[in-house]
Chains A and B, each alone.
Chain A
Amino acid sequence: MILLYDGSLEGYFSAVFVAYTLKEKHIEIEKKENRSPGLFDDTMMVENKPGEARRVLEGIAARMSRKGLNTIARAFLSEKTDCENVLLRFIQKGMKAGPVLLDKLTDPDALRAMEMSRKTLKEYHRFLGLLRFRKLDSGEYYAPFRPDTNLLPLLGRHFATRFPDQDWMIHDRNREYALVHIRGELEMMEMKMEQETAGNRQSLTTSLPQAIKKSESEDPYAELWRIYHKKIGIKGRANPKLQQQFMPKKHWEFLPEMEDNTGE
């Protein structure tokens, strides 16, 4: 039996809930978009049910500890292929064994869950550092990035605590959605760079594509940062390989200090 869900964490937990209510032994969970309809196997679409998803979440936290829940959520956000089924087995085992399962790295599902969670967490820490905000002419702060894992659900708390009085947006350019912080409120928003979004509720969303293009003219602090970054390198110990190990080229796109790309 294959359960289909919409791709969100809430949808996934809704599917986990359904998996527990079904008597069948062999259940798999997959994203709806990965499956074309009308195939031979027996599939069922699971609707998002916030109440049921919450029960799963709380059950996991209670039975597998908060740490277990965090591991599962982060592993899910790593978006690795087949994370849904690894995690389903992990949850099933964990509900029986309790939090000790987290340490049982001889178990292949526990090991995979830990690895996926670690991948997300590692990228999360990297982007806490690498996200660069640019101040738009309209006064808001805008930060684009291209994470491999799905980090927007995790970033809100850190930046809301750190910059409570700023209006800012963090834009996942790979997934085309953004985390927006306006007047202290956090919200997720779909962002397509090409089209204009209708409605004038927030100036960021309507004017964003224009605002960014206009602000291609420099934020003066980006230039000062470039000067600073260039000056602090000690030429006698230049080591571009080490620099790239920590800061792979794939991240240079939105870093003002790497814009001239000479590895200097």
Chain B
Amino acid sequence: MELGEKIALLAEGAKYDVSCSSSGSGRQNQPGGLGNSLPAGICHSWSSDGRCVSLLKILLSNDCAYDCSYCRSRRSNDIPRTSFTPDELIDLTMNLYRRNYIEGLFLSSAVLGGPDKTMELMLRVVKKLRMDHKFNGYIHLKAIPGAGSHIIREAGLYADRMSVNIELPSEAALRRLAPQKERKAILGPMNVLAEEGRQISADRQTGLPALRHRTPAFLPAGQTTQMIIGASPETDLHIIHLMEHLYEKFSLKRVYYSAYVPVNKDERLPALKTPPLKREHRLYQADWLLRFYKYKAHEILEESAPNLDEELDPKAAWAVRNYGLFPLEVNLASYEELLRVPGIGVTSAIRIVKARRQAALNFENLKKMGVVLKRARFFLLCKGRSLDWIEVGGPELRRKLLLGTPVPDRQLRLF
């Protein structure tokens, strides 16, 4: 099979793994080496569905022993099967890198025989890139569920980031839709990575200076995971609590939510006309609230209303429910309080806190600093004055907020 054909097949097989960031690692170049990493990550292109393309995201092989219901490469599908040789993949990575098409490699694979064997093959490619070819660009390596701890630990010495997909938001769904991927086979590597990461950074902090230099860097950009949204019936409430739990327990850097896109005909799967993109977008917004805006899961959703509002984003929905806490005086409110105001993002909140030390702020200043007054006007006072205050709150406020807010039918920019 020609290289172009292989790439077409193996890229197609990897694309539903939506993670593609190149951030979190400050890997330096070495003498005689190629490449480095920027902690902020770099986006090199954008796909036709609007997602960032930062890495060469590809399968080592699509010849899978498993038969997960939602996956294109499942054993029972009749598709062409192929694999890269290590040198083919290395050559492709290095040459694309030299031309600045990519920050590095995102390597996944179908399960070839068994998890350990697959991981060994993948790790061989990664080690060769690092050691023989002195490649210091970004490497995101998938961990195959069920792979042994020793090989997972070894992989962390060479990769910048690793991930295991939890695939589905509940064990019941996992058993029904991907029976060969057992829950403990997924959580096992996640635990190993989390534990090893904590151990190494503890060693580095407490160890003797000499040891500090010898202790190898382990997975600088940490661990992430992904779940499919809409292939199984769990509520947003369930998912958001799961989100919070995953971040806390495994110290994950990111959780990705992938709207279910029907690829196979299978009676175990819902027959959706379109992927639940709006829902996915709202979940990402909720994720941002947990990670950057200091919200707790139980604040975002309650049992009585377990799914995220379609029309109003979670932050605005929270503000409407808690209107009694407003208005806030922008020149006096704390940073945490400011973060709760719809229309004030992290950047604006920081600017406000810094600027008001030198001069009191009015609405004009706020607007120039990037605050979205169309939304924030209902929640703020500047020097005691208000632009728009609705006594009653509730439905009237909601209506006015919606007038100033676009309703997405699909993913918009998150930042």
Residues of B within 8 A of A240 (CB): 48, 50
Q: A132-B100, A234-B16 are in contact. Are A228 and B368 (CB under 8 A)?
A: no
Contact of A225 among B38, B48, B101 (CB under 8 A): B101
Determine whether the beta carbon of B48 is less than 8 Å from that of A238.
Answer: yes
Residues of B within 8 A of A263 (CB): 48
Determine whether the beta carbon of A162 is less than 8 Å from that of B36.
Answer: yes
Determine whether the beta carbon of B11 is less than 8 Å from that of A228.
Answer: yes
Determine whether the beta carbon of B277 is less than 8 Å from that of A237.
Answer: yes
Q: Residues of B at under 8 Å CB distance from A?
A: 3-4, 7-8, 11-12, 14-16, 29, 32-36, 38, 40, 42-50, 52-54, 56-58, 92, 95-96, 98-101, 259, 261-262, 274-275, 277, 351, 354-355, 357-359, 361, 365, 368-369, 410-413
Closest residue of chain B to A100, judged by CB?
B358
Residues of A within 8 A of B45 (CB): 129-130, 229, 247, 255, 257
Query: Does A219 sit within 8 A of B, measured CB to CB?
Result: yes
Query: Does A165 sit within 8 A of B, measured CB to CB?
Result: yes
Query: Does A181 sit within 8 A of B, measured CB to CB?
Result: no
Residue interface mask A248-259, B partner, CB < 8 A = 1: 000000010100
From 232 to 248 in chain A, residues with beta carbon under 8 angstroms from any chain B beta carbon are 232-243, 245-247
Residues of A within 8 A of B92 (CB): 221, 224
Q: Residues of A at under 8 Å CB distance from B?
A: 100, 103-107, 111, 125, 128-135, 141, 143, 159, 161-166, 219, 221-225, 227-243, 245-247, 255, 257, 263-264
**Among B33, B359, B368: residue with most chain A CB under 10 A:** B368
Q: A224-B7, A242-B50 are in contact. Are A161 and B36 (CB under 8 A)?
A: yes
Residues of B within 8 A of A166 (CB): 98
Determine whether the beta carbon of B365 is less than 8 Å from that of A234.
Answer: no
Residues of B within 8 A of A229 (CB): 45, 47, 53
In whole angstroms, how far apart are the Cα atoms of A88 and B12 in the complex?
54
Residues of B within 8 A of A264 (CB): 48
CB-CB nearest 10 A-B residue pairs: A242-B50, A233-B48, A103-B354, A239-B50, A236-B261, A106-B359, A129-B44, A231-B11, A133-B99, A237-B49
Contact of A246 among B50, B274, B365 (CB under 8 A): B50
Using A222-B99, A227-B11 as known contacts, list a sample of 9 further A-B pairs with CB atoms less than 8 Å apart, ordered by residue number in A: A106-B361, A159-B100, A162-B34, A225-B96, A229-B47, A231-B11, A232-B14, A237-B50, A243-B47
Q: A111-B368, A129-B42, A141-B99 are in contact. Are A232 and B11 (CB under 8 A)?
A: yes
